[in-house]
Chain A
Amino acid sequence: QKEVEQDPGPLSVPEGAIVSLNCTYSNSAFQYFMWYRQYSRKGPELLMYTYSSGNKEDGRFTAQVDKSSKYISLFIRDSQPSDSATYLCAINSGGGADGLTFGKGTHLIIQP
Protein backbone atom coordinates (compact mmCIF):
# COMPACT_ATOMS: atom_id res chain seq x y z
CA GLN A 1 0.00 0.00 0.00
CA LYS A 2 1.33 3.41 -0.97
CA GLU A 3 1.70 5.93 1.83
CA VAL A 4 -0.68 8.37 0.13
CA GLU A 5 -3.51 7.31 -2.15
CA GLN A 6 -5.27 9.72 -4.48
CA ASP A 7 -7.69 9.03 -7.32
CA PRO A 8 -6.06 10.36 -10.51
CA GLY A 9 -9.36 11.14 -12.23
CA PRO A 10 -9.99 12.87 -14.52
CA LEU A 11 -12.83 14.54 -12.65
CA SER A 12 -15.07 16.66 -14.86
CA VAL A 13 -17.72 18.98 -13.41
CA PRO A 14 -19.75 21.93 -14.71
CA GLU A 15 -18.81 25.49 -13.83
CA GLY A 16 -20.25 26.60 -10.51
CA ALA A 17 -20.34 23.11 -9.00
CA ILE A 18 -18.81 22.17 -5.66
CA VAL A 19 -15.74 20.00 -6.15
CA SER A 20 -14.52 17.44 -3.63
CA LEU A 21 -10.98 16.07 -3.89
CA ASN A 22 -9.70 13.43 -1.50
CA CYS A 23 -6.65 11.54 -0.29
CA THR A 24 -6.08 8.77 2.19
CA TYR A 25 -2.82 8.05 3.97
CA SER A 26 -1.47 5.14 5.93
CA ASN A 27 1.14 6.55 8.32
CA SER A 28 -0.29 8.00 11.52
CA ALA A 29 3.00 9.89 12.05
CA PHE A 30 2.00 12.32 9.33
CA GLN A 31 1.06 15.62 10.91
CA TYR A 32 1.17 18.28 8.19
CA PHE A 33 -1.20 18.27 5.26
CA MET A 34 -1.00 20.38 2.15
CA TRP A 35 -2.78 20.82 -1.15
CA TYR A 36 -0.92 21.93 -4.24
CA ARG A 37 -2.32 22.98 -7.60
CA GLN A 38 -0.34 22.22 -10.75
CA TYR A 39 -1.12 23.64 -14.16
CA SER A 40 0.19 21.88 -17.24
CA ARG A 41 3.96 22.28 -17.72
CA LYS A 42 4.27 24.23 -14.46
CA GLY A 43 5.56 23.43 -10.99
CA PRO A 44 3.11 22.80 -8.15
CA GLU A 45 1.92 25.86 -6.21
CA LEU A 46 0.83 25.70 -2.60
CA LEU A 47 -2.89 26.26 -2.09
CA MET A 48 -3.43 25.41 1.55
CA TYR A 49 -1.78 23.72 4.49
CA THR A 50 -3.12 22.53 7.80
CA TYR A 51 -1.83 20.80 10.88
CA SER A 52 -4.76 19.63 12.91
CA SER A 53 -7.96 17.77 12.30
CA GLY A 54 -10.86 19.95 11.26
CA ASN A 55 -11.54 22.51 8.57
CA LYS A 56 -9.53 25.43 7.23
CA GLU A 57 -11.09 27.87 4.82
CA ASP A 58 -9.48 30.27 2.34
CA GLY A 59 -11.85 31.99 -0.05
CA ARG A 60 -13.51 29.35 -2.23
CA PHE A 61 -11.24 26.61 -0.89
CA THR A 62 -11.75 24.50 2.23
CA ALA A 63 -9.27 21.91 3.45
CA GLN A 64 -10.52 19.21 5.78
CA VAL A 65 -8.48 16.70 7.78
CA ASP A 66 -9.76 13.67 9.66
CA LYS A 67 -6.77 12.13 11.41
CA SER A 68 -8.83 9.33 12.94
CA SER A 69 -9.76 8.10 9.46
CA LYS A 70 -6.47 9.22 7.85
CA TYR A 71 -8.52 11.09 5.27
CA ILE A 72 -8.00 14.56 3.85
CA SER A 73 -10.21 16.57 1.51
CA LEU A 74 -10.17 19.77 -0.50
CA PHE A 75 -13.47 21.42 -1.41
CA ILE A 76 -13.76 24.07 -4.10
CA ARG A 77 -16.94 26.15 -4.10
CA ASP A 78 -18.28 27.97 -7.15
CA SER A 79 -15.75 26.25 -9.37
CA GLN A 80 -14.35 28.21 -12.31
CA PRO A 81 -12.77 27.07 -15.60
CA SER A 82 -9.50 28.56 -14.28
CA ASP A 83 -9.59 25.94 -11.51
CA SER A 84 -8.93 23.28 -14.14
CA ALA A 85 -5.60 21.76 -13.11
CA THR A 86 -4.09 18.80 -11.30
CA TYR A 87 -4.52 18.89 -7.52
CA LEU A 88 -1.91 17.14 -5.42
CA CYS A 89 -2.20 16.30 -1.76
CA ALA A 90 1.10 16.33 0.14
CA ILE A 91 1.91 15.16 3.61
CA ASN A 92 4.87 14.98 5.96
CA SER A 93 5.69 14.12 9.51
CA GLY A 94 7.31 17.45 10.27
CA GLY A 95 10.55 15.81 11.32
CA GLY A 96 14.11 16.82 10.50
CA ALA A 97 14.08 15.13 7.09
CA ASP A 98 10.97 16.93 5.97
CA GLY A 99 10.49 16.06 2.37
CA LEU A 100 6.89 15.80 1.28
CA THR A 101 5.08 12.62 0.26
CA PHE A 102 2.71 13.39 -2.58
CA GLY A 103 -0.36 11.68 -3.92
CA LYS A 104 -0.58 10.99 -7.66
CA GLY A 105 -2.72 14.06 -8.20
CA THR A 106 -6.30 14.39 -9.43
CA HIS A 107 -6.82 15.97 -12.84
CA LEU A 108 -9.79 18.35 -12.53
CA ILE A 109 -11.69 19.75 -15.50
CA ILE A 110 -14.26 22.53 -15.01
CA GLN A 111 -16.57 22.70 -18.01
CA PRO A 112 -17.72 26.25 -18.95
Chain B
Amino acid sequence: EAEVAQSPRYKITEESQAVAFWCDPISGHATLYWYRQILGQGPELLVQFQDESVVDDSQLPKDRFSAERLKGVDSTLKIQPAELGDSAMYLCASSAGQASLGYTFGSGTRLTVV
Protein backbone atom coordinates (compact mmCIF):
# COMPACT_ATOMS: atom_id res chain seq x y z
CA GLU B 1 0.00 0.00 0.00
CA ALA B 2 1.36 3.44 -0.94
CA GLU B 3 2.47 5.61 1.96
CA VAL B 4 3.37 9.20 2.68
CA ALA B 5 6.99 9.20 3.81
CA GLN B 6 8.24 11.63 6.44
CA SER B 7 11.62 12.15 8.02
CA PRO B 8 12.99 12.35 10.55
CA ARG B 9 10.59 10.46 12.84
CA TYR B 10 11.90 12.27 15.90
CA LYS B 11 13.83 15.51 16.32
CA ILE B 12 15.14 17.21 19.43
CA THR B 13 16.45 20.73 18.99
CA GLU B 14 17.38 23.65 21.17
CA GLU B 15 15.52 26.92 21.24
CA SER B 16 16.68 29.37 18.56
CA GLN B 17 18.01 26.60 16.33
CA ALA B 18 16.74 25.86 12.85
CA VAL B 19 14.94 22.62 12.09
CA ALA B 20 13.58 21.09 8.89
CA PHE B 21 11.16 18.30 8.10
CA TRP B 22 10.80 16.43 4.84
CA CYS B 23 7.76 14.81 3.23
CA ASP B 24 7.42 12.61 0.15
CA PRO B 25 3.74 12.22 -0.79
CA ILE B 26 2.13 9.28 -2.51
CA SER B 27 3.23 9.20 -6.14
CA GLY B 28 0.90 11.21 -8.36
CA HIS B 29 -0.78 13.08 -5.51
CA ALA B 30 -0.98 16.73 -6.52
CA THR B 31 -2.20 18.10 -3.20
CA LEU B 32 0.07 18.15 -0.16
CA TYR B 33 -0.67 19.40 3.34
CA TRP B 34 1.36 20.13 6.45
CA TYR B 35 -0.47 19.89 9.77
CA ARG B 36 0.70 20.49 13.32
CA GLN B 37 -0.71 18.39 16.15
CA ILE B 38 -0.07 19.48 19.71
CA LEU B 39 -0.37 16.71 22.29
CA GLY B 40 -4.00 16.15 23.21
CA GLN B 41 -5.31 18.22 20.30
CA GLY B 42 -6.48 17.53 16.78
CA PRO B 43 -4.25 18.38 13.81
CA GLU B 44 -4.33 21.98 12.60
CA LEU B 45 -3.57 22.93 9.01
CA LEU B 46 -0.38 24.94 8.47
CA VAL B 47 -0.08 24.98 4.68
CA GLN B 48 -1.64 23.39 1.60
CA PHE B 49 0.05 22.96 -1.78
CA GLN B 50 -1.50 22.22 -5.14
CA ASP B 51 1.45 20.98 -7.20
CA GLU B 52 4.16 23.55 -6.43
CA SER B 53 1.78 26.40 -5.58
CA VAL B 54 0.62 27.40 -2.11
CA VAL B 55 -3.18 27.24 -1.88
CA ASP B 56 -3.57 28.15 1.79
CA ASP B 57 -0.93 29.29 4.26
CA SER B 58 -3.17 31.51 6.35
CA GLN B 59 -2.32 29.61 9.57
CA LEU B 60 1.41 29.37 8.94
CA PRO B 61 3.43 31.59 11.33
CA LYS B 62 5.41 33.18 8.54
CA ASP B 63 7.85 34.99 10.79
CA ARG B 64 9.50 31.68 11.62
CA PHE B 65 7.95 28.97 9.46
CA SER B 66 8.49 28.37 5.76
CA ALA B 67 7.40 25.63 3.40
CA GLU B 68 8.30 24.76 -0.12
CA ARG B 69 7.46 22.19 -2.76
CA LEU B 70 9.76 23.25 -5.56
CA LYS B 71 9.09 20.54 -8.14
CA GLY B 72 5.58 19.75 -7.05
CA VAL B 73 6.60 16.43 -5.53
CA ASP B 74 8.34 16.32 -2.14
CA SER B 75 8.15 19.15 0.36
CA THR B 76 10.15 20.69 3.19
CA LEU B 77 8.84 22.54 6.23
CA LYS B 78 11.34 24.70 8.10
CA ILE B 79 11.26 26.46 11.44
CA GLN B 80 13.81 29.14 12.26
CA PRO B 81 14.26 29.93 15.06
CA ALA B 82 12.52 27.16 16.98
CA GLU B 83 10.63 28.05 20.15
CA LEU B 84 9.50 25.89 23.07
CA GLY B 85 5.88 26.20 21.92
CA ASP B 86 6.74 24.56 18.60
CA SER B 87 7.03 21.16 20.29
CA ALA B 88 4.43 19.05 18.52
CA MET B 89 3.87 16.35 15.91
CA TYR B 90 4.24 17.67 12.36
CA LEU B 91 2.12 15.66 9.96
CA CYS B 92 2.24 15.60 6.18
CA ALA B 93 -0.70 14.38 4.11
CA SER B 94 -1.41 14.03 0.42
CA SER B 95 -4.45 13.69 -1.80
CA ALA B 96 -5.01 12.71 -5.40
CA GLY B 97 -7.98 14.86 -6.07
CA GLN B 98 -11.12 15.86 -4.29
CA ALA B 99 -9.77 16.15 -0.78
CA SER B 100 -13.22 16.18 0.70
CA LEU B 101 -13.04 12.41 0.39
CA GLY B 102 -10.22 12.35 2.92
CA TYR B 103 -6.52 11.98 2.43
CA THR B 104 -3.52 9.94 3.55
CA PHE B 105 -1.30 11.02 6.42
CA GLY B 106 2.30 10.12 7.05
CA SER B 107 3.51 8.94 10.46
CA GLY B 108 4.71 12.41 11.34
CA THR B 109 7.81 14.01 12.83
CA ARG B 110 7.75 14.43 16.60
CA LEU B 111 9.58 17.67 17.43
CA THR B 112 10.79 18.47 20.92
CA VAL B 113 12.28 21.91 21.53
CA VAL B 114 14.40 22.17 24.68
Contact = CB atoms under 8 A, between A and B. Distances in A.
Interface residues of A, number: 28
Contact of B101 (A42, A43, A49): A49
A92 B102 CA distance: 10
B42 A6 contact: yes
A56 interface: no
A44 B43 contact: yes
A99 B48 CA distance: 7
A99 B106 contact: no
B108 interface: yes
Interface string B70-114: 000000000000000000000101000011111111111010000
A31 B103 contact: no
B21 interface: no
A97 B42 contact: no
Nearest to B50: A96
A43 B42 contact: no
B104 A46 contact: yes
B48 A43 contact: no
A8 B40 contact: yes
Nearest to A103: B42
A49 B44 CA distance: 19
A25 to B, nearest CB: 12
Interface in A24-70: 31-32, 34, 36, 41-46, 49, 51
